Structure 1
Amino acid sequence: MREIRIGGVPEHYNLPIHLAIENGLFEKEGIRIKWTDFPGGTGDMKEALRNNESDLCILLTEGIVTDILNGNPSKIVSGYVKTSLTWGIHTQAQSSITDAANIFDKSIAISRFGSGSHLMPIVNAMMSDQSIDAGQFVEIGNIDGAISSLNEGATEIFYWEKFTTKPYLEKGRLKRIGEFISPWPCFMIAATNNIIEKDAELINKVLKIIHKGNSLFMELKNALNIVSKRYDLDTKDAARWYHATEWSVNGWVSNKMLEGVLYSLKEASIVPEVATTEGIIWKQNERK
């Protein structure tokens, strides 16, 4: 039995992989998955890849592109979720802030620098012809840290995936004042250069099973009930999310798409003007 370490956020997007594990799709091929949840999101997973604590991670596209350009010894080996991510823009439950168009001078809670919760406000501001200073960001670790930070007045705004935060809205712990949709597919699978060089065959087998699991999940008749029960979402919200989300069944990654990501990151001054997409994608999965 060969083991591979995989990490992802503890959210509904990774349910197809969990079901594939539970249904023995990996074990059938002689593969043991050592799964790690990363509540801190993409920022934590980038560090896990850098420190060789995970072999593969499912990360936000903009986060892993930025970190590879900043020296993370990894490559994107597959697409995972083909649709965009809808970010909820949140405040403290009793906040007087009501308009998401007037938030770009506020203090912003982020899980970690370089995470999606850090990059998306910058991209949102750029696309609104606004700007955000680095001093406006405060690291808080995860959703619980964000809620504490907002309640204490240390921060005023928090971006996080809208369906994940829905239970917190219903319990009166957060208030949503707007949404922002990422202008590219939201999740990619990245692998360390170490595992790519050491065992490319294993990566290919794992990716093939993930793609099969994605396909099975999108055909699963009781998918909505499973999502609703596991992630504390009412059936209507589970249905809205499920029918608005498409997973990759072949893993192809378009260099044209990454050029679009890179353009936005440059416009927002997140990466240098000289940055290119060269070396970001594992060549065998690249599509022009």
Structure 2
Amino acid sequence: MKKFIIGGVPEHFNLPWYLGLRDKKFQEKDINLRWKDFPGGTGEMNQALRDKEIDMAVILTEGIVRDIIHGNQSSIVQVFVESPLLWGIHVATDSEFEEISDLKGTAAAISRYGSGSHLMAYVNAENHDWDLQNDLNFTEIKDLEGAIESLPNGEGDYFMWEKFMTKPYVDNGTFRLVGVSPTPWPSFVIVVRNEVLKENAEIVKTILEVINHITIDFKNLPSVAEMIANRYGQELEDVNEWLSLTHWSQKQLSEKTLEKVQDQLLKLGLIEDKLPTDQLLHNF
């Protein structure tokens, strides 16, 4: 039985993987798939791919595109979540900042450089016509838990993270939500190290077939909203709203969308050059 290690954030987007592993759907195909949580997000997973610590990852689109351009020897094999990620822009409850415009020139708390929280701070700044050289500052806080500890202590002024995963901390008074910044492209893709693709392309293809069979009917599973609410500490009302906004995919990222991502990264000064499509995407 072939062993594969896949990484991802411990968030509700990835519940289909948990269900597949729980129900031994990959073992039925003679694949020993192991899941590894990465609370630090995309930057942490990029490093794990580079270090060959994991074989695959469910990762933010903009983060992996940038890292492949910067030398990560991996390829995108499929979109996992087609809908945009809704990045909540949060401040500490007792912060003096009331609106997004108040955050110009302040310090964004980010999980790490190259992470989604880092890259989306640039997208948010661009959306509000800030000076990308002078109006953006950063403080590394590792992950959501780091932000919960750091922001109330004045380490970083605002923190961008998925709106629904941070909602419990808005509800309990740790954070205040001052705005939302959606990604202008599909939120999550599945990426595989090129070495793994070269040696085990058919097995990777089978893994995709299994997870796609789960995601295509995921929203219709009995009591799925209750399961998500209990597992991730969410209010049922919030989960139902999130489910209505979230759409999984079973298709590869389009060349047009990839161009859009690269163009935006180039415009923001986050990459120096674009790559041809075949150096970023792997089509079976």
TM-score by length of 1: 0.95
Range 36-45 or range 120-129, more displaced: 120-129
1:231 partnered with 2:237: no
Alpha-carbon contact 1:3-1:33 (below 8 Å) kept:
yes
> For residues 223 and 206 of structure 1, what CA distance do their matches in structure 2 show?
22
Counterpart of 1:22, as a letter, is R
Tell me which residue corresponds to 2:60: 60
Q: Which moved more, 1:262-271 or 1:113-122?
A: 262-271
Report the Cα offset of residue 276 of structure 1.
4.5
Shift of the alpha carbon at 1:143? 1.1
CA offsets per residue over residues 225-251 of structure 1, 9 Å max, x none? 111111111111000001110101x33
CA drift of 1:273 comes to: 4.3
Q: Which amino acid aligns with 1:110?
A: I
Distance in 1 between the 2:184 and 2:131 partners? 18
Q: Which residue of 1 aligns with 2:260?
A: 260
User: Quick check: 1:280 aligned with 2:284?
Assistant: no
1:140 aligns with 2:114: no
Report the Cα offset of residue 71 of structure 1: 0.4
Partner of 2:38: 38
Partner SS for 2:217: helix
The answer to whether 1:111 aligns with 2:114 is no
Contact 2:87 2:160 (C-alpha < 8 Å) held by counterparts: yes
Q: Is 1:73 aligned to residue 44 of structure 2?
A: no
- How many equivalent residue pairs? 283
Q: TM-score, normalised by structure 2?
A: 0.96
Rounded to whole Å, the distance in 1 between the matches of 2:280 and 2:103 is 33
The Cα offsets for residues 102-127 of structure 1, whole Å up to 9 and x where unpaired, read as 31311010001000000001011112
Query: Which residue does 1:178 correspond to in 2?
Result: 179
* Equivalent residue number for residue 202 of structure 2: 201
1:86 matched to 2:86: yes
Query: Quick one: which amino acid aligns to residue 207 of structure 1?
Result: L
Q: Aligned partners of 2:104 and 2:267: how far apart in 1?
A: 16
CA, structure 1 residues 274+63, in 2 after alignment: closer, same or farther (shift >3 Å)? closer
1:98 maps to a residue whose letter is E
Aligned residue for 2:9? 9
Q: Is the 8 A contact 1:2 1:31 kept in 2?
A: yes
Alignment-mate amino acid for residue 102 of structure 2: N
Amino acid at match of 1:112: R
Q: Which runs of 5+ in 2 are unaligned?
A: none
In 2, are the aligned partners of 1:122 and 1:131 still within 8 Å (CA)?
no
TM-align CA RMSD: 1.4
Q: Which amino acid aligns with 2:196?
A: I
Taking the aligned partners of 1:271 and 1:2, their CA distance within structure 2 comes to 36
Unaligned runs of at least 5 residues, structure 1? none
Q: Does the 8 Å contact 1:78/1:189 carry over to 2? A: yes
Q: Which amino acid aligns with 2:141?
A: I
